[in-house]
Chain A
């Protein structure tokens, strides 16, 4: 543990990438929890997906996961693209109905 922190400015290893992804994840959580604009929440979700992807790729570089991590990352990107398209279509519909995209004001299930 002590040795690791002394070496921490040395060549980037697995830990460095994991820490970057952890900070990115917490920033995404922050965006999802504290912003009330639906599109900001979507951007936070994109940050979280990206941080998970960094983890997969880092493990595939440094451990025996090898190319399977790349495949998982590829599918994560595909799912993210589909999610963004459908979510933005929903957001446009919600805006058309409620004239706002503030999450706290959209409180009706039957519009």
Chain B
């Protein structure tokens, strides 16, 4: 077995195991912590797929940003102390049936489709080409994404500041 093969199996086991812990854990803080391992494992899978820039972006945005945001959400919405970190699970049987069915159908479709696999080009880095694409073919989606992020920031700030003003009795 080559090193990449071993690394692939290692990181996919880490990713899927942490995701399973995240889904089935009763404690939401444990879930958030397991989500971190899932996201790091996905970043490692990106590295194995020659996507170095995306792996760095995944680490910065997901692990550094979204996960911290989720932890803030957990802390700010927990009633009482550790008691209410526990979360309720409902519909366990229909949900597991549906998700198992989705997994089986997807894997069956993936295995029976005849994918047109082309020559693997071994890239050294993708950053230069991605930058050229962003400033060339993808300039319009790039700008739209920037505007979307601006709107999201303004919306989030507006919602959370109105919240604190209302608490003090203002409008």
A50→B49 CA distance, assembly (Å): 14
Convert B144-171 into 0s and 1s, putting 1 for each residue whose CB lies closer than 8 angstroms to a CB of A: 0100110111011001100100110000
Asked if A79 meets B48 with Cβ closer than 8 Å, knowing A16-B8, A36-B90, A61-B120, the reply is no
- The reply to whether the CB of A33 lies closer than 8 angstroms to some CB of chain B is yes
- What does the 1/0 interface line of A21-34 toward B look like (CB < 8 Å)? 01111111111011
Name the residue on A nearest B46 (C-beta).
A57
A: contact size bracket: 35 or more
Shortest distance between the CB of B72 and any CB in chain A (Å) = 7
Q: Which residues of A contact B133 (CB under 8 A)?
A: 67-68, 71
User: B4–A11 contact, CB under 8 A?
Assistant: yes
> What are the interface flags for B95-127 relative to A under an 8 Å C-beta threshold, 1 for contact and 0 otherwise?
110111011001100111001111011000010
Across the interface, do B51 and A57 meet the contact criterion of CB distance under 8 Å?
yes
Chain B residues with Cβ below 8 Å from A53 are 42, 54
Give CA–CA (A26, B126) in the complex, Å: 30
Q: Which of B54, B76, B138 has the most CB of A within 10 A?
A: B54
Question: What residues on A are CB-neighbors of B153 within 8 Å?
Answer: 85
Extra contacts besides A58-B49, A61-B120 (18): CB < 8 Å: A1-B112, A12-B9, A16-B12, A19-B110, A26-B100, A27-B16, A36-B88, A36-B89, A50-B42, A62-B115, A71-B138, A79-B145, A80-B66, A81-B152, A82-B151, A84-B65, A92-B163, A96-B166
**Nearest 7 pairs of A and B residues by beta carbon:** A26-B103, A82-B152, A33-B95, A22-B106, A34-B95, A37-B87, A30-B99
